[in-house]
Structure 1
Amino acid sequence: MAEISHPSPRYTRFEDFQGLLVSAIGGAFGMMLLGAAGLITGGTAGLALMISYLSGFGFGWVFFVINLPFYWFAWTRRGMVFTLKTFLSVAAVSLLVEILPSGANFSYLHPGLAALLFGAIGGVGVLGLFRHGSSLGGVGIVALILQDRFGFRAGWTQMIWDLCLFAAAAFLLPLDLVIWSLIGSVILNIVIAMNHRRDWYLPG
């Protein structure tokens, strides 16, 4: 049986821009939910949240700075376009996370609901970035490279990193919040792993 060919998607500049923007908004809203409930996540975002909680610095600024070393790796491995898109995506999420709380806040948010909504909304946001040839930097860059070169799904790579990060978080945060955070991260990574497949949809 002949193998079915899946052509790469081709976006107009406007389609690419709106896809990246909508995905960044979803990612930023997911991070805002985590911050409101005192939860964390995996990847560089999770590390940035932990630093933010412990230091008092705003998540957006920490997230932007902590991603800076990864751009060289992205440039050498994935090229200029991917690197620039990732830089802009990270910058957009960093800015939106600082801006959104001024227009929306939560007087009460159960950590279980925050974890569920983050997993779904954040997962769709990250998936959208992947499909438009971008990422949220850090571990996401490494995850995409491993998937492209070896077929190891991006979601599983991120899940391995998350488990290591959560093991460290168990010594720094209340255990119940760590558990809810882990649930949210698992949901997010399942969304990515089940939907970001090269035989279904190739990133542009």
Structure 2
Amino acid sequence: MKVYATQWLAIVEACLLVALGVQLINASDLLVGGTAGLTLIALQFLPDMTFGQVFFLVNLPFYLIALRYLGLGFTMRTFGAVSLLSVFSDLISQHVSLELAHPLIASVLGGLLIGLGLTFLIRAQASLGGITILAVFLERRLSINAARTTLATDMSILMFGFVFFDTLTVVYSIAAFIAVGSVMGRYRKPAFIPPEQAASKVKLPLQQRTAKA
């Protein structure tokens, strides 16, 4: 029970950090990578919808893949994280003013917050769906390195950025991509043993361990 509580507390904290980072970037009309970046581009076509609404909808098709290849526990934690981020993002955009003096500041600060939040999610054995699920699926089914899928997706988002945003905006956005990758590259390490795996790692009694030795 304690493992579940600690894990979900980490997920809530992570979603708050990511939501704050995304809204900092969104308030400055910038881009970021991953599913959040796809959502920001989709908002160009759906001006009447909020980030949280579009983000939640974009992730729906990926849950079937997660359930099939990543297990029920991971899927439920990811669904919870996506739902929390959707709610937190809309609440922050409605009630908090996040416009900063310069978009480069928003890009770097937002990227750092997103990177830290994603790191917490990974350590809690969860994700924000979308690109992460696709990357793991391609790695397991087609042996395509997950990091390459993520990099290719981020590069595609940047290319689309040149279509929907001006060049200077995309250049500022690159700082967010770098900040996210920098934080995750240093601190990406699982912190929890999922409860469904912990049961299979029961310690042997002292007598059995002695006998095996």
State TM-score, norm by structure 1. 0.84
Matched with 2:132 is 140
Give the match for residue 200 of structure 2.
Answer: none
Q: How does 1:24-173 map to 2 (within 5 A)?
A: 24-56=15-47, 57-144=49-136, 152=145, 154=147, 157-173=149-165
Q: Which has the larger radius of gyration?
A: 2
Give ranges in structure 2 of 5+ residues lacking alignment.
195-213
Asked if 1 retains the 8 angstrom alpha-carbon contact of 2:66 and 2:74, the reply is yes
The superposition leaves residues 153-197 of structure 1 with CA deviations (integer Å, 9 ceiling, x where unpaired) of 64x542321111111110111111111112201220222233225
Aligned residue number for residue 7 of structure 1? none
- Would the alpha carbon gap of residues 194 and 145 (structure 1) be closer, same or farther in structure 2, given more than 3 Å must change? farther
TM-score by length of 2: 0.81
2:163 alignment partner, SS class: coil
CA distance in 1, matches of 2:181, 2:2: 26
2 CA distance for matches of 1:50 and 1:157? 19
CA RMSD, Structure 1 to Structure 2 (Å): 2.4
Q: Can you give the 5+ residue segments of structure 1 that lack an aligned partner in the other structure?
A: 1-9
Q: Secondary structure at the match of 1:55?
A: coil
What is the alpha-carbon distance in structure 1 between the residues aligned to residue 34 and residue 193 of structure 2? 20
1:66 Cα offset (Å): 0.5
Distance 1:107 1:187, change over 3 A: closer
Q: Using the alignment, how far apart are the partners of 1:41 and 1:171 within structure 2?
A: 15
Q: What's the CA shift for 1:112?
A: 0.3
Aligned with 1:106: secondary structure? coil
In the alignment, which residue of structure 1 is the partner of 2:207?
none
Once residues 197 and 21 of structure 1 are traced to their aligned partners in structure 2, the CA distance between those partners, rounded to angstroms, is 18
Contact 1:153–1:197 under 8 Å retained in 2: no
Q: Superposition pairs for residues 191-202 of structure 1, below 5 Å?
A: 191-197=183-189
User: What amino acid is aligned across from residue 135 of structure 1 in structure 2?
Assistant: S
User: 1:28 deviation in Å?
Assistant: 0.6
Alignment of 1:20 with 2:26, yes or no, is no
2:182 corresponds in structure 1 to 190
CA offset at residue 40 of structure 1? 1.3
Identity of aligned residues (%): 28
For residue 117 of structure 1, what is the amino acid of its counterpart? L
Contact 1:131–1:203 (CA under 8 A) maintained in structure 2:
no
Q: How many pairs were matched up?
A: 192
- Tell me the distance in 2 between the aligned counterparts of 1:146 and 1:189: 21
